[in-house]
Every structure is written in structure tokens, then in C-alpha cells.
Structure 1
């Protein structure tokens, strides 16, 4: 059964409503800080998989998934005015260094595991930062390169399955990991923070239709210009389209603030809605049966990668970032994009902060580091490993 784009959107919205109901209905889901889109999306995935096993195939049109993702990252860019970026300060630099170290370790461990298991080291890269940190887009893109340039059979399909594996674990472990750290160390939101997210920030204004139209206009410009920039720059630099959209929207947002008042509540509303739709369509479209086709060596490699990411985040990221409430929230975000994607990371920290209290630092650092720094670092690291292994 083939669903059109509008039918897919309808199902995605139903999935989101079901996820909201489940999280509010079952206390354990709320206690585990499970993101509502993830809960509804994984339930839809299980249902779709069960139907496939019974002989009924469902195919969802992903035409809206890409725009939803780009609108989300565009909204992150619009919200990232230079004042808030400066507030990231030294913690952002330290966190970025930790992210770089983990990306490098993922590829080292992946290559070593591949050699130990008798596989081509390129399979190790596919099971390393390409899919764990890069997600589906980066994985499939590099899978095609490996297939065409190095003769690695089934690289794109394997990348999709590996990214799916990572996305599920990144979504499932982020919230519970932060909850465990918060409870174990009895962490509290700093006193007085509940009164506002940022010192000196404007008080939220009501969301009006005119404000929504202006934000949608800026996002549309950002998506179009970013897409064109990616197309013309692909011969000399390999960066995902959303990175270009993010850069363009950062510039547009800061320019817009000089021309008219920008309602951050509107940006947040549009961005969160886009993120929810993207996650719902992505998760309900996952082909869990692809994991059945993974060879046991690859499955072992992915499990080692999950153990590596969790261990690094708990014993290094949490401790280096201060062993406080903000560092626990950062761990939830780091878990999201170290094994899945930046939207999952943001969904993780949203779930944690909605349950335990605000963390302005996390909402500054995670989108910026996860939105473009990690992709630039990942692309550079992967290219370096490919150059060495390709001889």
C-alpha cells in the first residue's frame, strides 16, 4: 500500500497525537523522558513491521520529511542570534572538543573491529561515525561512494540499517541516561532559572499570524538559498544541505533582528512542529526487517559502538562538563547525535528539560555543535580515514 505525501502527513500527525497521549497516560514513559514523537513513531514502526510480516507492505512518501528537517534546522539558525552564541562561551568549546574526540574514537574502534572480525575496514567506517554520528543522510551518501569507488557490496543498504540501529538506540537511551545521572547525583536546576531561559531575554510575546508568516518567509528563503549553495559547492566541499540552510538562516535571523522585532516563541513553535513531523515520518518509515539481514559481525560492531558512546558520555562528557544539571542534559543531547541525528538530540533535551526544568546552556550548545560543527568534523575525519585506508 502506497501512501501519498498528504496521506503520510496525516498518518504522521496521528502518530504524534498517539505519542502525546501515551507519554501522558503512562508514567514510566514520562519518567524515562521519552520524546513524544519517538514513542508514537516506534509504535508505528512495530505496527508496520508486523503488517510486513503478515504480507501487507506499507510505503510512506517521504517528500515532506526533507523540508520538515530543513525547516527545523532553519529555525535553529534563526534562533541562534550572536548574543546567545556568545553565551555558549568556553563550555561550547570544551563540548565541541569532546564531540571531536568521540567521532575519532568511533572510527578507530570501527576499523579495529572490522579487521578483528575479518571484514573490510570500510565496513568499520560504515559502522562508525558515518552512521552513528552522521545518520541516514551521511551514511547513504558515503555508502554510494564506497560502492562506486571501493567495490563495497551493499554499502548503502548496510549504512541505512546501521543508521536505523543507531537512531533507535540514540532515541531510547538519551532521556533515561540523563534521568539516571540526575537521580544518582541528585542534580537540581539552579535556583532562579525557572523565571526565564536567558538573562536579559525578551519576555515571550503572543504568537500572531503576521509573525508566523514572517518566520515562514525567512525559513523559505533560507531553505532555497541553502539548497542552491549546497548544489554549487558540492564539487569542492561535501556538506549536508541542512548545514548550508543553518548557516544561511543564522545570517538571515541576525539581519532580521535589525529590521523588525523577532518573536522567538514563533521560531520555537515552527521549529518544534517541524522537528516532530520529521521524527514521526522518519521513525514510522523505518524498515526494522533490514536489521535481520545484518551479519552477526556487523551487529557486534554496532553494539560495541553503542557501548563506546554511552561509556564516553557518562565517564567523560558528564564529568568534564561539570557533573551538574546542565551537563546531564548535555549528555542526553550528546547521546542523541552520537548514535542518531541532531533532531533526536534536540528531542532528547526537550524531553529532559520539560520534565526536570530548563537548561539554556544545552539549548545553545546542542543545536550549534550538533547542527554543523559535528558534521564538519565528521566529514573531515571520514575523509582522512578514507584517504589512509584507500591508499
Structure 2
């Protein structure tokens, strides 16, 4: 069998090609577009399956140098932290706090489900944890970040299990979100109270127009991110070494970035261009996800496929019961609550784009929900991390 070794540059080139290929497939294949499957997931998994076939028939063994992957990952999560403003909490009011707490309870429950399931299936609870809050609410990004941490603790295949679980969750979240909300709306005869039907860009805009930037502004944003990354990584390392608490470097990056953002909001020491930062965030996310997914080893993962599917099915059943009973009632049992439920099913099993896609499918048919489009993106994209990260770290340190 021929051995193909890709160096760091070749791996980067391949990841860019696969990202573009995934984007092409997503735009051309309706079901991928409908379910909002990210381009890195499509491109990366397609290549991983292709490599699996080549290795299965003993044609080629491919090895890649993914040294840049953790840097892209830290870059992405640092910008996530820079997007968190304490002022956002005031805009959402009581509903935002309730939704936030419900998502926190959901994440904690997801980890309990994985712990119980791991005991029943007789697998390592830390490995099972990758099918919980890490991959469900956290998605592919958390799967890589915390998967690498668990692998450093000796838990083999943690990243691969997380990616598989996150992908299944992403698909299920996209499939069930709209139908569940539709059932609630029609069962309780709910009506939209908003006169707006199509305006969904008030909170998060997907406008991809050309950025108006110059060299100075660009390097200022890069400097902010890299300095926050460096200090955050050092902080996480200090906590790991001196306090013997497992803290991934991304946690330190997010923490320092949040502190800088909110300090800078008052002190105005540097100009922050969030349109440019979000563009850089998308680039880094695309690169580290593509690199991570294209390097999945399906040979080692095949023996764990059964337990992964079982745990994900348990997660899906639980979140449907959780959202249609407790969450729906706590949020007011009205039209806005039903739309928010579709969003919670989207990001509770997949990612923020899933949540927005689910809500879009509902509001396009039944009418706009201003409250849902304010609360769900703020919690799913930014605020949920404040609960999720300590929750995940708690379970990791308890089970280690």
C-alpha cells in the first residue's frame, strides 16, 4: 500500500480545496442546503470517507500534518469571546434569561444522559461525554476543542466520536426543529403578534458584501485577536499546571477576549470592526473544521458507531420532550415560544445556523417573531458559552 504524507502546506491547500468543494456541493444539493449542513462538514467528511475506502482496499494510506488546526481553532473562539457584550443581557429582558437558563439545564441534562448511557453500554464515560453537551450544544467546534483535551488525557478517538455525534445531531436538529414547532402552533392555534413578516436581519446579518477595510484596521483586529489568544492560552496553561484543573486553551482565550471587549467598550482604546472580525471568524472556523473532519479515522470509529447512534437517539428523544413540555411552558406557551422552540431544537442538537434556519421556516409561513430573533441568536451564538464551558469542565474533572 502506498503511503502519502502531506506536509503542513499541502494539508492547508487540501483543506481549502475541500472547503470550496463542500461549499459547491451544499449549493448544488438541495437537502444539504435545506438542512444547513456547513461546507466544512460536507467537504471534510466526503474526503474522510474517500480515504477510508482507499485504506480499506489497501490502495493508499494518507497522513496529514494538521499543526495549524489548533491555532485556527483558538483564533475562532477568541473572536467568539470578542463578540460577547454584557450590554446584550439588558436587551433581551426576562425572556432571554429564561431561555438562557433553559439551555443551561438542557446542556447539563445532555451530559447526565451520556453518563448513564455510557454505563449501560460499558464504554469510557469520558468518551461518552463527547456525545453530550460538547457535541450537541457545542457542535463541531467544541468537539474539536474538548476532544483534543480528552485525547491528551488518554481518551482515544475523542475527537472522532465528537465529530460523528455533532454531525448526526446537526442533521436531526435540522429535520425536527420546524415540524415540532409547526405541531405546537397548530395544536394551540398560535398567532404571530408582529406586523413584520420578512425582517430577520435585526440581530444577525448574513450579508456577505465586500468589506470596507484598510491595512491599519485589518492589522488592528489581528493584533487584538492574537494578543487575546496568547494571554488566554497562557492563563489556561497556568491553571492546568498549578491548580491541576483541566482547562482547554480556548476557555482562556474566550475569557480574556470577553474581558477585553467589555473593557474596550468603556475605555475605547482600540477600534473594533465586528464585520471584519466576524469575517475572520468564519474563515478560521472553515479551516479548522475542514482540517479536523478530513482527518477523521473511520477505521477506529467503526467499532463505536453503534453506541454513538444510541446516545444521539436518546438525546433527540429527550430534547423533544424537554422543549415541548418544560421549555414551551416556561417561555409563555405562545407563538414566540413556539418559534424559540424550533431554534432551541436547532442549536441544542446542532448549531446556530440550524436554529436560524428552523425559525426561518416557521416565520416564513406563520409570521415574524421579533422576540425569537433577538433571544435565540444571542444565547446560541454568544451567551450559552458562559454556562456550557463550566458545565463541561465540571464533568471532565469529575470523571477524570
Pick the TM interval, shorter chain. 0.7 to 0.9
1:83 and 2:80 matched: no
Aligned to 2:236: 230
Aligned to 1:333: 347
Q: Secondary structure at the match of 1:286?
A: coil
Deviations 1:101-145 (A, max 9, x none): 334433443444444456676776566557666634434544665
Matches within 5 A, 1:124-273: 128=132, 135-139=143-147, 141-142=149-150, 145=153, 156-157=155-156, 159-181=158-180, 185=185, 191=196, 194=199, 196-198=201-203, 206-209=211-214, 210-234=216-240, 235-236=242-243, 237-257=245-265, 258-273=268-283
- Aligned-partner Cα distance in 1 for 2:124–2:201: 52
The runs of 5 or more residues in structure 2 that have no matched partner are: none
1:66 and 2:62 matched: no
TM-score, normalising length: structure 1: 0.78
- Aligned-partner Cα distance in 2 for 1:21–1:295: 28
Deviations 1:12-52 (A, max 9, x none): 21122122222221222222222222222222222222222
Is contact 2:174–2:346 with CA below 8 Å preserved after alignment?
yes
- Aligned-partner Cα distance in 2 for 1:326–1:130: 21
Distance 1:371 1:7, change over 3 A: farther
Count the aligned residue pairs.
365
Tell me the CA shift for residue 229 of structure 1: 0.5
Is contact 2:340–2:376 with CA below 8 Å preserved after alignment?
yes
Deviations 1:192-230 (A, max 9, x none): 77275249xxxx994303322211110001100100111
- Aligned-partner Cα distance in 2 for 1:180–1:10: 40
218-227 vs 356-365, which deviates more? 356-365
Aligned to 2:98: 94
Is contact 1:82–1:254 with CA below 8 Å preserved after alignment?
yes
Aligned to 1:39: 42
The runs of 5 or more residues in structure 1 that have no matched partner are: 148-155, 337-344
CA RMSD of aligned residues (A): 3.6
